[in-house]
Chain A
């Protein structure tokens, strides 16, 4: 089965610019997650979708971050405007159900804000 696809793999932007990341989950996986992984730390959840609805966005900095999952399949995560502290790897994961702990992760997008 194909894995979770993410693009781009790398992105360098200046602070205050905007950036968008794309994720295509495993076909049929209802639940999609975006995690932020700062260098040297474990992934931290930003947002969780169940189909095209948001289940948990309590840790998403909503003043600058937004995410959507149109038609319950692909998802985009946007940052506008970016700050230096947003430099991190943004990981997308999917699972068949919310109780399925064995999430499948994509390779992530490494964002550098300068």
Chain B
């Protein structure tokens, strides 16, 4: 089976609220994680990444948290906007030069 998965398939949030999208991974050897955003009809778009030697990384309105103890990854989006509506995937590099492995995705809907 896939080693990366998500807890919720859908998430609805009010415009202006913060969003939290969760992801669980099973491969403790994975050392690199990425969050992607995919809008309808488009390919996945890189949002933010984090390496396993970090617990937290911040970007513009986005923060990724990594908890290696429980193998959990989360994406926080501050002040969610209608343009944030999309499917969000976490992805991992299990080891070495292996390619990215994607989870199933969470659909974020922003209610205006």
A interface residues with partner B (beta carbon < 8 Å): 4, 33, 35, 40-45, 48, 55-56, 91, 93, 98-99, 101-108
Complex CA distance for A55 and B99, rounded to whole angstroms: 10
Compute how far the CA of A41 lies from the CA of B5 in the bound complex, rounded to whole angstroms. 11
Given contacts A40-B105, A43-B44, 8 further A-B contacts (CB under 8 A): A4-B43, A41-B105, A44-B102, A56-B98, A56-B99, A91-B44, A99-B97, A103-B44
Q: Count how many chain B residues have C-beta atoms less than 8 Å from C-beta atoms of the other chain.
A: 23
User: In the complex, which residue of chain A has the Cβ closest to the Cβ of B48?
Assistant: A102
Q: Complex formed: what's the CA distance from A42 to B102 in Å?
A: 5
Could you mark each residue 16-36 of chain B with 1 if its beta carbon is under 8 Å from any beta carbon of chain A, else 0?
Answer: 000000000000000010100
For B32, B99, B102, the residue with the greatest tally of chain A CB atoms inside 10 Å of its CB is B99
For A98, list chain B residues within 8 Å (CB). Answer: 97, 99
CB-based A-B contact count at 8 angstroms: 57
Q: A93-B43, A105-B45, A106-B43 are in contact. Are A41 and B104 (CB under 8 A)?
A: yes
Give the docked Cα–Cα distance between A56 and B97 (Å): 10
- The yes or no answer to B41 lying at the interface (CB within 8 A) is yes
* Complex Cα–Cα for A41 and B1 (A): 13
A101 contacts B97, C-beta separation under 8 Å: no
Question: Which A residues touch B32, using CB under 8 A?
Answer: 99, 101
List the A side residues contacting B45 at CB < 8 Å. 105
Q: Which of B's residues lie within 8 Å of A, judged by CB?
A: 2, 4, 32, 34, 41-46, 49, 89, 91, 93, 97-105
- Please report the C-alpha to C-alpha distance between residue A43 and residue B42 in the assembled complex, in whole angstroms: 12
**A77 CB, nearest partner CB in chain B, Å:** 15
**Which residue of chain B is the closest to A105 with respect to CB atoms?**
B43
**Shortest Cβ distance from B41 into A: residue:** A107
Nearest first, the 3 closest Cβ-Cβ pairs linking A and B are A105-B43, A42-B102, A98-B97
Shortest Cβ distance from residue A44 to the other chain B in the assembled complex, whole angstroms: 7
